[in-house]
Structure formats: C-alpha cells, structure tokens
Amino acid sequence: MKTLQNKVAIITGASSGIGRATAKLFAQEGAKVVITARRQKELDELLEEINESGGEARALAGDITIEAFAAKLVEFTLNAFGRLDICFNNAGALGHLGPTPDLTLDDWQHTLNTNLTSAFLCSKYQLPAIIESAGSIIFTSSFVGHSVGMPQMAAYAASKAGIIGLTKALAVEYGSMNVRVNALLPGGTETPMSREFANTPETVAFVKNLHALKRMALPTEIAKSALYLASDASCFTTGSAMLVDGGVSICKT
C-alpha cells in the first residue's frame, strides 16, 4: 500500500520548486492532490503530468493572500474529493531584498502577506476539514529568521519566523483533536525563487559553502521530508520546526 493511499492533499505554491516536486511525490504515493498557485499555465502542465503518470489531481489557480480564495480552495477540494487530510501550505516569496532602511511599508506588508498571512488564511479554512479527518498541516518556513540571520532579508526572516509561531500555537490548540501541525525549514534549494538570491556563479558557490553538505538541495529532497510530515510515519510529531537544511544551521566552515 502506498504511503498516502486514500488521502487528499492541498499543495499551495505548486507551480514550481518545492511545491511542484511535492505534488508529484504525494500523487505517486497515492494521494489525491489539489494544486494551487497564481500561474494557470504552469498548473495545467503539472496537472497533466500527474494525471498522465497515473495520479489523480485537480487544479485551482488563484491568490491565497485573498481570504475568499483561501475559503474557495477548501470548498473546491471537498467538492472534488469529499475530504481533506493533508495541507502543505508552501507558497511564499523572497520579497524585497536590501538594506532595512530602504524597505518600504508596502514591501514589508507584501512579503508578510505572501508568506505569513496566507498561511493563516489557508489554515483558518482548512482546519474544520482537517479536524474531521485528524489530519496534518505543514507550513514551509525557513532556517532564515530561525537558526540563521541573513542581511537584507528583514521582511522575509520575520515572516518565516512568524510561521513557526503559528505552527506551535495551532499544534497546541488542536493536538487534543489528533491534528498535527509542523513547519518544514528547508536549506538552500535549487528553485526559481532561490535563483533570485543566488543569481551569479559566485553567489551560488557562496550559498553552497554555507551548508555542511556543501551543496544545495534538490526540490525532490525537500519533498521527501514533506512526505514524512504528511504520513503516519510522523504520527507523534507536532509543533516542530523541522530543519531540512543540509547543515547550514550548524556549519562554521
């Protein structure tokens, strides 16, 4: 039997990177998946890949920073598959990078809305269905703002640290209902978003060297850790800030 057989999962930020890899892996492991992102074309391509490989998926494009869409996403999932067991709230953005005095209030709010407020809105509407299924909610946070400080990333760090606080609060609030809530903290990963930061050979080499493993992760490697948190293998894991960071948090060489 496949790891996620008969489970239904929502994956946000599924059009590329970690979200895309996770959607494909969850489907391979038997889950029916609902994928969402803002880009319809990329969602359609992923949907075709999953369905052609024997998986079962639905796609709904939209902006999860909009409360009405966060509610619609859950309604769409329940109408399509009748239940909801797993939510991988992965969508996010680096936002404005630069000296903090140059960060405008609009820049700050945009990054927090994209990374943190969207996580709140998604979980707000997912929780009733997740409580019913005694399921698992997973957020994508970061080592940035948790175990490592990075210059010129104030809004990103604050938003990702906020996700960890949200994770812990929800884990305690709903643990007695057999709901598990965890945050996944990837290290540097080879995604379109990471290339916004590491955009020269020199920067890529610098980022790789920050990690004990001296390389960046592939999206599929992070997806495997999301699978662990989604599956019964992690049945006694909740409220965790789970580092999957290639040792960046402990590396001093």
Which residues are part of the catalytic machinery? Answer: 156
First-to-final CA distance of the chain: 43
* 112 contact partners, CB below 8 Å, separation of at least 6: 155, 158, 159, 162
- Rg over alpha carbons for the chain, rounded to the nearest Å, is 17
Angle (CA) 19-78-69 rounded to 5° is 60
Give the position of tokens 């590329």: 16
Q: Which two tokens stand for residue 250?
A: 């402990």
Measure the CA–CA gap between 228 and 212, rounded to whole angstroms.
Answer: 22
Residue 4: name the closest of 247, 229, 197 by CA: 229
* 240 contact partners, CB below 8 Å, separation of at least 6: 167, 182, 183
Measure the CA–CA gap between 34 and 206, rounded to whole angstroms.
Answer: 36
Measure the CA–CA gap between 196 and 10, rounded to whole angstroms.
Answer: 26
* 182 contact partners, CB below 8 Å, separation of at least 6: 136, 137, 138, 139, 167, 171, 229, 234, 237, 238, 239, 240, 241, 242
